[in-house]
Amino acid sequence: MSELEHEVRGRTLWITFNRPQARNALTFGMYSKLAELCAGVPTDGSLGAVVISGAGGKAFAAGTDMTQFRAFDTAQDALDYEGRIEQVLEAVERCPLPTIAAINGACTGGGASIAAACDLRISSARIKFGFPIARTLGNCLAAANLARLAELMGAGRVRELIFTARLIDAEEAHAAGLVSEVLEDEPALMQRAEELAELVGSMAPLTLRATKEAMRRTRAATRVHDDDLIEMCYMSNDFRNGMEAFLAKRAPVWEGK
């Protein structure tokens, strides 16, 4: 079976992260396939919406598969990685159809960024959302990614989540406007995702497309240069030590260099 599955049901494209043994940690291939699917959806009326979810009952997606970072040798490797991630997030944002993240369980790191790039987010009561990188890896989010999150949750909340490395639960996610609905369990979540996809898929497609693109352009107009910040984090001893500590399931020791 594929690590990223997709199928059309009715007028909805269902995309499923399918590495349950790794809590759906994202490989570069999964990122690329997601971007390809979002960019390639038809606009002829045959489809009305896209739903993204995770298999296995424990996670939407638990971020990037850390083993892939072991190949990083140069600053360009780090810049290319963050550039690739932003291309994927932009592909999700630019998808001409409404995108719905149906979140059950862990939704962290790259998985949380993908959910934030969707138009709508609904969750089960078991959601755990956040970016624990200040506790685990010592890397950083690109400025465009931070801006997207700040638009969604507010800059203060984003800063607090990253500084404390905590994960927010369903009640807080709903109160913060991160998710629009909280369902009792995964079956109820997926049923509601289907209903919501049918609803938004019945709306005027050009209205939705124009709204998505106008909001994306508004945020994109304020982008800043952040290559130096990415290089500082990814090329540090802290990041290398944090990555190995994470993979060895031990606590990292931060040195600030």
Burial of 250 (0-12, 13-18, 19+ CB in 10 A): exposed
Q: Hey, what amino acid is at 224?
A: V
More confident residue, 223 or 14: 14
Give the per-residue pLDDT at 106.
Answer: 97
HSE (side-chain half, CA atoms, 13 Å) at 172: 11
Out of 3.90.700.10, 3.40.630.30, 3.10.270.10, 3.90.226.10, the CATH code matching 4-201 is 3.90.226.10
Tokens 């994306």 belong to residue: 216
- Closest residue by Cα to residue 150 from 176, 170, 123: 176
Tell me the residue length of the chain. Answer: 257
pLDDT tens-digit map of 46-87 = 999 999 999 999 999 998 988 888 888 899 999 999 999 999
Mean pLDDT of 210-227: 90
Burial class (CB in 10 A: 0-12, 13-18, 19+), 49: buried
CB-CB neighbours of 219 under 10 Å: 14
The whole-number pLDDT of residue 135 equals 95
CA distance 198 to 12: 7
Q: Domain boundaries in the chain?
A: 4-201
